[in-house]
A and B are shown apart, each in its own frame.
Chain A
Amino acid sequence: KQEVTQIPAALSVPEGENLVLNCSFTDSAIYNLQWFRQDPGKGLTSLLLIQSSQREQTSGRLNASLDKSSGRSTLYIAASQPGDSATYLCAVTRMDSSYKLIFGSGTRLLVRP
């Protein structure tokens, strides 16, 4: 059974700091891994998608890496801003059930002005 774990569960940092969010998964037979952002009471916005053959993806101040063999991914946020405050979720797509995403519980980020 695929399990996805995110550490830490919550994080509070001052504005301007660089930070790293962690995601681990137990089954390496995945198609891809995605990072999402969720604002309170809202739906999910896709940030980055990494296919299993890729090592990293970048979008603006965000960089996501994937190490499939060790079952780990990191989301790096450079020069954090108060507007980055949200919950960040990672999700994997398993090869034997490609119709669904399996999510972690998320990291709740607060960037203090």
Chain B
Amino acid sequence: ETGVTQSPTHLIKTRGQQVTLRCSSQSGHNTVSWYQQALGQGPQFIFQYYREEENGRGNFPPRFSGLQFPNYSSELNVNALELDDSALYLCASSLGPNRGSDSPLHFGNGTRLTVT
């Protein structure tokens, strides 16, 4: 069973640039969620994709966007990068979108984004 993989592991960008982060979900999982974790903080929910549609969104501006592909892999795109976007970006996959069920979230190791 292949776990959740994210690429790249580290990335350095300049303010104003655009970035794309990638996530391959665990085998058999149809739902991907993205979280942003600033240093010393807990993860904050960005959005979730279920069967290629956005299924919920947190308090993030529209310059944060995403995609889910037919194989359930996903991308997170951030436009017009700001210094405060520097964080660890975590992808998590699950079987189904409902966190109230027993279907657990499986997290990847994240992408560390630094904006200078």
B-contacting residues of A (Cβ < 8 Å)? 4, 31-32, 41-46, 49, 51, 89, 91, 93, 95, 97-106
Contacts and interface: CB of A to CB of B under 8 A. Distances in A.
**Residue picked from B90, B99, B109, most chain A C-beta under 10 Å:** B99
Interface of B is mostly: loop
Given A99-B55, A100-B99, A46 B104 contact: yes
Nearest to B56: A99
B32 to A, nearest CB: 11
28 contacts: A4-B42, A31-B99, A42-B110, A43-B4, A44-B90, A44-B92, A44-B105, A44-B107, A45-B107, A46-B104, A49-B104, A89-B43, A91-B42, A93-B100, A99-B48, A99-B50, A99-B55, A99-B56, A99-B98, A100-B33, A100-B99, A101-B35, A101-B43, A101-B45, A104-B42, A105-B41, A105-B42, A106-B42
Interface residues of B, number: 29
A62 to B, nearest CB: 16
Contacts of A102: 45
Nearest to B41: A105
B87 to A, nearest CB: 12
B42 A32 contact: no
Contacts of A105: 40-42
